[in-house]
Amino acid sequence: MDKIRIYGGTPLNGEIEISGAKNAALKVMTAALLTDQPLVLHRIPDLRDVASLSEILTQLGVKLSYDAGKKTMRLHSAAIASCVAPYDLVRKMRASILVLGPLVARHGEAKVSLPGGCAIGTRPVDMHIDGLRQLGVEIELVDGYINARAPRGLTGAHIHFPKVSVGATENIMMAATLAKGTTTLVNAAREPEIVDLGECLIKMGAEITGLGTDTIIIHGKAFLRGTEHAVIADRIEAGTFAIAGAMTGGTLRLKHCNIEHIDYLLDPLHKAGVDLVSDGDTVTVKRISKQLRGVDIMTEPYPGFPTDLQAQMMSMLTISEGAGMVTETIFENRFMHVPELARMGADITIHGSSALVRGVSKLRGADVMATDLRASVSLVLAGLVAEGATTVHRIYHLERGYENIVSKLSSVGAKLERMKEEAA
Ligand code: UD1
């Protein structure tokens, strides 16, 4: 396994191009299962999670080709070859559960392993299962698999999610596009990635209204057709680099970045002493105060502060003047980066789902271990400002979600290198 060594202390200056959104790409890829016609997708990032889902889709009979240079993927699910998504493939990534809805809606049958993914809490899939049951799907849980059957097809329903879930909203929305009649999703998630998926489904012939609101209405169709779609920019990658710019104190331009999708960052970063200014699709991040200041944040469903930027923000607070309180409301057990940041000299106290971060004058480089995708990148950010060298081990997680992170950061002046673990 590889590691990354970072030599801290250089401000980041220049331009970084934001990739297509991982969490939008994975969803539109599964939408290929809803039609027997080809789907052509643009701005698909070259990431391990994309490769993992490609493997699952190929197993299900999708003919898939990916041009990593052009970031274009062609998927053709002419016939479903298998309706089984096995444990070995699904365990690598929780988003694999998203094949369940499209598969059972089109094929009448699906057998999908209960998912794995980042080790951040228990992360159940009960709302995916309950939602599909309400659409008339018979579901049994046997030997770690979800066995789903709908021999007479799906029927539209009024579904009220007890809790806001990105994945459950997407899975049920996709299944409902092929159901008989109308489905109403109440307390639906509003993330831009869901809007993006919905817009792709509409191009495929689906009838959907209410995208981006908490009530989504889907009028089912007998079949969907192929289309072409370019996914939105990755707002979490953009937010991560914005925080990196804030921490290191240079001026960073983030190209292909929609400022509306990172609105939740503007106020906390401004209070911390950082400005974000948008010009067309470029957002410029610039620190305006000499010293960053502590701010409080609480993670919430979109449009609130995203849990996927919580670790990065905490990294920034470790070197901010005063203190900041970070409250995590989406996932339990999402403070795995705290002991690693503490190894670098951070002063953080956890109380239940909150962490009080008292700023220190500097972090010191250390050997740290990546535990999940966003925790990993928070350690890279800490390394960018730490005194001396920081080595982030087990970067496997990082590669699941950040395209070319070493070369992107190097191109704006960061000093870091990727190394083989045994070369230590
Ligand atoms: C997606 C994102 C992930 C992000 C998360 C929250 C993808 C591939 N992943 O994950 O990066 O951190 O949204 O913004 O898009 N829950 C249940 N039962 C369910 C489903 C979810 O209790 O059936 C709970 C979860 O445990 C969690 C909360 O609902 O506490 C939100 O999870 P959810 O929005 O479903 O996250 P994902 O779709 O898995």
Q: Which residue has the tokens 């480089």?
A: 365
Is 118 close to ligand 1, i.e. is its CB under 6 Å away?
A: no
pLDDT, tens digit, 9 for 90 and up, residues 367-398? 999 888 889 999 999 999 999 999 999 898 89
Give 394-408 pLDDT, tens digit per residue. 898 898 899 999 999
Counting from 1 in the atom list of ligand 1, the atom nearest the Cα of 95 is 8
123 lines ligand 1 (CB under 6 A): yes
Ligand 1 atom 19 nearest Cα: 125
Q: What 3-state class would DSSP assign to 152? A: coil
**Mean pLDDT for the chain overall:** 95
Mean pLDDT confidence for 200-211: 98
**Torsion-angle region of 246 (φ positive above 0: left; ψ -120 to 50: alpha; else: beta):** alpha
Instruction: State if residue 125 touches ligand 1 by the CB under 6 angstroms criterion.
Output: yes
Q: What is the token pair recorded at 52?
A: 């993992």
Question: In this predicted structure, which of 113-127, 161-175, 316-330, 384-398 has the lowest mean pLDDT?
Answer: 113-127
Give the DSSP H or E segment for 202.
Answer: helix 192-203
Alpha carbon dihedral 155, 160, 161, 166, in 10-degree steps, equals: 70
Query: Residue 26 carries which side chain, given as an amino acid letter?
Result: L
Whole-number pLDDT of residue 121: 52
Q: What is the pLDDT of residues 60-104, one digit of tens each?
A: 999 999 999 999 999 999 998 899 999 988 888 889 999 999 999
Q: Whose CA is nearest to atom 12 of ligand 1?
A: 308
Q: Is the CB of 311 under 6 A from ligand 1?
A: no
* Ligand 1 nearest-atom number relative to CA 130: 23
Of ligand 1's atoms, which has the minimum distance to the CA of residue 191? Answer: 14
- In short, whether 305's Cβ falls inside 6 Å of ligand 1 is no
Kindly tell me if the per-residue pLDDT of 317 is higher than 90. yes
Span from the CA of 217 to the centroid of ligand 1 (angstroms): 21
For ligand 1, atom 3, name the residue with the nearest CA.
Answer: 308
pLDDT, residue 332, reads 84
Determine which of 162-166, 227-231, 393-397 has the lowest per-residue pLDDT on average: 393-397
What is the share, in percent, of the chain residues with pLDDT greater than 70? 97
Pairing of strands 251-255, 14-17: parallel
127 contacts 165 by C-beta, under 8 angstroms = yes
Distance 45 CA to ligand 1 centre (A): 21
Q: Is 94 in the pocket of ligand 1 (CB under 6 A)?
A: yes
Does residue 231 line the site of ligand 1, with CB under 6 A?
no
Residue whose Cα lies nearest atom 15 of ligand 1: it is 23
CB 95 less than 6 A from any atom of ligand 1: yes
With the most atoms of ligand 1 within 8 angstroms of its CB, the residue from 160, 165, 235 to mutate is 165
Q: Strands 158-160 and 182-186, how do they pair?
A: parallel
d(CA 188, CA 165): 7
Q: Is 294 in the pocket of ligand 1 (CB under 6 A)?
A: no
Residues catalogued as catalytic: 118
Q: Which residues contact 410 (CB under 8 A, 6 or more apart)?
A: 416
Residue 116's pLDDT is: 58
Question: What confidence score (pLDDT) does residue 123 get?
Answer: 67
Give distance in angstroms: CA of 124 to centre of ligand 1: 9
Residue 118: predicted pLDDT: 46
Q: Is the CB of 126 under 6 A from ligand 1?
A: yes
pTM metric for this prediction:
0.96
Nearest CA to ligand 1 atom 37: 167
* pLDDT at residue 305 greater than cutoff 80: yes
CA angle 311–167–39, rounded 5-degree value:
115
Identify which of 52, 127, 139, 166 to mutate to test ligand 1's pocket (most ligand atoms within 8 A of the CB).
166
**Mean pLDDT, rounded, for 202-206:** 98
SS3 call for 323: strand
Select from 30, 330, 336 the residue to mutate for testing ligand 1; criterion: most ligand atoms less than 8 Å from CB.
Answer: 330
The protein residue whose alpha carbon is closest to atom 7 in ligand 1 is 23
**Residue 219 clears pLDDT 80, i.e. is over it:** yes
Question: Which residue owns the Cα nearest ligand 1 atom 22?
Answer: 124
**What is the CA(166)–ligand 1 centre distance, in A?**
6
Nearest CA to ligand 1 atom 24: 123
- Out of 22, 123, 374, 397, give the residue to mutate to test ligand 1, the one with the largest number of ligand atoms within 8 Å of its CB: 123
Comparing 95-99, 180-184, 331-335, the range with the smallest average pLDDT is 331-335
Residue 119 has pLDDT above 60, yes or no: no
pLDDT surpasses 90 at 124: no
Residue 298 has pLDDT above 70, yes or no: yes
From the CA atom positions of the chain, what is the Rg in Å? 21
